[in-house]
């Protein structure tokens, strides 16, 4: 019988950690909005749930956009990526605002990693503007506007997924 070799999760493969605080995330979302303000105006913001909900709220507030829709996609179970499942599509009302192709619509997500999620949504609305706060190299070509690039071997820890905890001193082998 083959030895039991559990597959590494995306987070384990990533190796490096990039923890983001609420304060940092808010600042990065505002920095993203400064760039988007040069590109708009936008008829509506579409958040890719769930990670896109927080940046979409901040960006929409700063841009003065009040029509917010969601496209609900699940792929990662914690840190393992499986098949992409579209749980809810962009509404017909929002699609109409973008002339069916997404023109004048802003799609927001927290990050692109492999780019699979971004590709799926881009294919739904090819003329929409796609913005993320963070981008890893594989997904970067799909994004129109982002703020910070992190390497492919980095796992981003978002404030809504984490809590403060004790860290051993670096001298004792902390990462
Ligand atoms: O570029 P990719 O490799 O496709 O990964 C990026 C996607 O992965 C995460 O979502 P996740 O599927 O974990 O769901 P969540 O937003 O509900 O946390 C993240 O919020 C992006 O949407
Ligand atoms: O919290 C997360 N951090 C990441 O780096 C990542 N990549 C894909 N999905 C992710 N989720
Ligand atoms: Mg997501």
Domains and CATH numbers, the chain: 23-76+83-158 (3.40.50.2020)
Write down the pLDDT at residue 135: 98
Entry pTM: 0.91
Catalytic: 28? no
**Per-residue pLDDT at 148 exceeds 60:** yes
> Which residue shows structure tokens 């992409």?
84
Write down the pLDDT at residue 78: 66
Q: pLDDT tens digits for 24-60? A: 999 999 999 999 999 989 999 999 999 999 999 999 9
Catalytic: 4? no
Write down the pLDDT at residue 3: 47
Q: How far is the CA of 59 from the centre of ligand 2 (A)?
A: 20
The ligand whose atoms approach the alpha carbon of 139 most closely is 1
Q: Is the CB of 155 under 6 A from ligand 2?
A: yes
Query: Please, which residues bridge with residue 145 across strands?
Result: 131
ipTM exceeding 0.95, yes/no: yes
3-state secondary structure of 119: helix
Q: Of all residues in the chain, what percent carry a pLDDT higher than 90?
A: 77
Write out the E strands in 42-116. 44-49, 68-77, 80-88, 105-112
Q: Is the CB of 20 under 6 A from ligand 2?
A: no
Q: Are 14 and 155 in contact (CB under 8 A)?
A: yes
């Amino acid at each position: 019988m083959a030895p039991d070799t559990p597959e590494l999760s995306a987070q384990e493969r990533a190796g490096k950690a990039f923890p983001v605080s609420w304060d940092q995330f808010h600042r990065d979302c505002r920095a993203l909005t400064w760039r988007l303000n040069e590109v708009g105006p936008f008829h509506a913001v579409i958040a890719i749930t769930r990670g896109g909900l927080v940046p979409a709220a901040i960006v929409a507030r700063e841009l003065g956009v009040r029509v917010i829709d969601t496209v609900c996609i699940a792929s990662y179970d914690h840190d393992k990526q499986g098949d992409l499942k579209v749980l809810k599509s962009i509404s017909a009302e929002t699609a109409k605002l973008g002339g069916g192709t997404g023109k004048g619509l802003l799609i927001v997500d927290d990050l692109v990693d492999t780019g699979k999620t971004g590709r799926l949504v881009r294919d739904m609305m090819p003329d929409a503007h796609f913005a993320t706060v963070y981008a890893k190299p594989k997904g970067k070509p799909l994004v129109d506007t982002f703020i910070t690039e992190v390497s492919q071997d980095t796992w981003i820890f978002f404030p809504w997924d984490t809590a403060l905890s004790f860290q051993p001193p670096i001298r004792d082998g902390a990462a």
